Amino acid sequence: MKTTVNIPDSLFEEAKLVAREEQTTIKALLEEGLRRTLDEHKKSHPFRLRDASVDGDGLQPHLANGSWERIRDMIYEGHGA
């Protein structure tokens, strides 16, 4: 994708020097910098699953000691499973 980016002249000149020294392009430097910035952003904002719990009194007493298999069977009871 092509786009236009406005950066200060001094930053552009510095990027040209670094690109020349490293035998690369300004485009490659921009891509590398953007990737690093996005990686840092991901690290500083880890994914958090939203709290989707509902109001209630928790597990019903008759299921308190039930196995997951028993609970699953009750959920699907009468639904063909």
The per-residue pLDDT for 66 is 80
Provide the residue ranges of all domains of the chain, joining segments of one domain with +. 9-44
Q: In this structure, which amino acid lies at residue 61?
A: P
Q: According to DSSP H, which parts of 1-81 are helical?
A: 9-21, 26-44, 68-76
What is the tens place of the pLDDT at every residue in 31-43? 999 999 999 888 8
- Supply the pTM of this predicted model: 0.53
Is residue 28 within 8 Å of residue 19, measured between CB atoms?
Answer: yes
Question: How far apart are the C-alpha atoms of 27 and 33, rounded to whole Å?
Answer: 10
